[in-house]
């Protein structure tokens, strides 16, 4: 029994030492990268949309299910936005390699031990077909490397919310495949329960500093990449097939709008 106790004590001591050494190494590397790490700064955030390669605009795209989609309306409520750097990535990496200690749970906490470089706490209704980005200037932040971005989706803004018709997102367009043509429209509702409304881990690698602009673009093709528009309910009196809450198209949209492929983020000095 004494041997088991001493063994556990030794393992805990060794794990602490490795964590301390790794953290010190990370701090050294961070200091070598820039002497301004953690300094108070102001940055700009630009939110818009981007067209796929060869497409005339962001609302024109081909889906994996063979449809060519042309959107006449595409709006979504976005925000808040958070810029993250995983300050303990080196610690965790060394810990996993050198101390394979069993944990009490099998998952990970996506918010644990991360540095927030900056944030935009408003909610904006984005017209994803507009060529203009929505720009937030002089947001407060801290200088340092950004590794990922989080965008929240559920929630209505006071300005422009009417365009969403009571939903978190709204679309209207035409989908064609061969001799099939489907006019469609509808809204998407995203439950505000825990992480469901968060798009977490959008890649964005770079150093944020005074004057840096962060761009976040919606990629509309991801919304309907897996949609089969023939599975929508029959057309209404106006010839439009509505995206009902229980339809395959709604489910594809729900998954697509919350996927990492639905966003592209970058830093511009």
Name the domain count of the chain. Answer: 1
> Quick check: is 129 in a domain?
yes
Look at residue 80 and tell me if it is in a domain.
yes
Q: If you count DSSP H runs as helices and E runs as strands, how many of each does the chain have, helices first? A: 3, 14
Q: Is residue 235 part of a domain?
A: yes
Q: Which helix (H) or strand (E) holds 98?
A: helix 89-98
Residue that the structure tokens 């673009």 belong to: 217
91 domain residue, yes or no: no
On the question of pLDDT at 102 being above 50, the answer is no
The reply to whether 16 falls in a domain is no
- H or E stretch at 28: helix 2-33
Q: In what order do the strands lie in the sheet with 40-49?
A: 198-208, 144-152, 81-85, 115-120, 134-142, 40-49, 213-218, 263-268
Residue 148 in contact with residue 160, Cβ under 8 Å? no
Residues 118-168 pLDDT 10s? 999 999 999 999 999 999 999 999 999 999 999 999 877 767 789 999 999
| Residue at 98 is within a domain | no
246 is in which domain, residue-wise?
A: 41-86+114-268
- DSSP secondary structure letter of residue 194: T
The predicted structure's pLDDT at residue 98: 46
What percent of the chain is modeled with pLDDT above 70? Answer: 75
Decide if 210 is inside a domain. yes
Neighbours of 168 (CB within 10 A): 22
Mean of pLDDT values over 40-62 = 96
- Cβ neighbours for 7, distance < 8 A, ≥ 6 positions apart: none
Sign, CA dihedral 19-21-27-32, equals: negative
Tokens at 260, concatenated: 């990492």
Tell me if 108 is assigned to some domain. no
Give the span between the Cα atoms of 121 and 93, in whole angstroms: 31
Q: Is the peptide bond before 206 cis (omega within 30 degrees of 0)?
A: no
Rounded percentage of the chain residues whose pLDDT exceeds 90 = 68
CA distance 113 to 132: 36
Give me the pLDDT at residue 191, please.
86
C-alpha to C-alpha distance for 42 and 36, rounded to whole angstroms: 13
């Amino acid at each position: 029994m004494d041997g088991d106790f001493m063994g556990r004590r030794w393992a805990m001591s060794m794990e602490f030492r490795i964590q301390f050494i790794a953290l010190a190494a990370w701090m050294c590397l961070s200091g070598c990268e820039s002497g301004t790490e953690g300094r108070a700064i102001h940055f700009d955030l630009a939110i818009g949309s981007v067209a796929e390669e060869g497409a005339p605009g962001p609302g024109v795209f081909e889906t994996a299910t063979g449809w060519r989609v042309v959107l006449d309306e595409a709006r979504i409520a976005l925000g808040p936005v958070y810029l993250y750097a995983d300050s303990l990535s080196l610690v965790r990496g060394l810990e996993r390699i050198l101390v394979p200690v069993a944990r009490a749970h099998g998952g990970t906490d996506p918010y644990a031990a991360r540095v927030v470089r900056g944030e935009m706490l408003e909610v904006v209704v984005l017209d994803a077909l507009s060529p203009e980005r929505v720009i937030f200037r002089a947001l407060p932040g801290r200088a340092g490397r950004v590794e990922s971005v989080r965008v929240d989706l559920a929630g209505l803004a006071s300005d422009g919310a009417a365009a969403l018709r009571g939903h978190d997102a709204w679309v209207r367009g035409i989908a064609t495949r061969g001799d099939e043509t489907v006019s469609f429209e509808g809204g998407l509702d995203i439950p505000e329960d825990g992480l469901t409304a968060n798009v977490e881990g959008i890649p964005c690698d770079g150093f944020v500093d005074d004057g840096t602009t962060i761009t976040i673009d919606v990629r509309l093709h991801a919304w309907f990449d897996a949609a089969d528009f023939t599975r929508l309910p029959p057309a209404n009196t106006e010839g439009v097939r509505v995206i009902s809450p229980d339809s395959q198209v709604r489910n594809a949209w729900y998954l697509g709008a919350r996927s990492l492929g639905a966003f592209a983020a970058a830093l511009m000095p």
